[in-house]
């Protein structure tokens, strides 16, 4: 039974070697469904809305200029999406 909104795929032999082993996001991009886009955009906005103020607050609390928190927040968001 396939669950709505869940990415499920069988483990293929080619997943263990080559580019897909080191960049698993390539498989998701190849099989991306446009019905996921609205949910992905909302998740990205929610993640950014939380991470940017937190990043700024941590930088200011540590004595570093707050603008560095914007860069840290954008990198965190990028890494979160790379993990997908």
- pLDDT digits over 38-81, tens only? 999 999 889 888 877 887 888 888 888 888 777 766 665 555 55
pLDDT digits (tens, 9 = 90+) for 23-33: 877 878 888 89
Q: Which helix (H) or strand (E) holds 36?
A: none
Q: What is the pTM of this model?
A: 0.54
> Residue 67: CA atoms inside 13 Å, Cβ hemisphere, count?
0
In this prediction, residue 39 carries a pLDDT of 94
User: For position 59, what pLDDT does the model report?
Assistant: 82
56 in a structural domain = yes
Examine residue 26 and state whether it is found in any structural domain, yes or no: no
Say if 14 falls within a structural domain.
no
Range of the domain at 40: 34-84
Residue 77 counted as domain residue: yes
Cα separations (Å) of 49 from 7, 36, 59, 73, 82?
25, 20, 16, 9, 18
């Amino acid at each position: 039974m396939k669950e709505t909104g869940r990415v499920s795929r069988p483990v293929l032999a080619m997943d263990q070697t080559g580019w897909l082993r080191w960049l698993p996001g390539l498989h998701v991009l190849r099989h991306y469904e446009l019905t996921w886009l609205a949910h992905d955009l909302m998740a990205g906005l929610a993640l950014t809305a939380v991470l940017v103020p937190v990043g700024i607050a941590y930088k200011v609390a540590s004595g570093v200029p707050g603008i560095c928190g914007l860069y840290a927040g954008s990198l965190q968001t990028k890494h979160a999406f790379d993990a997908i």
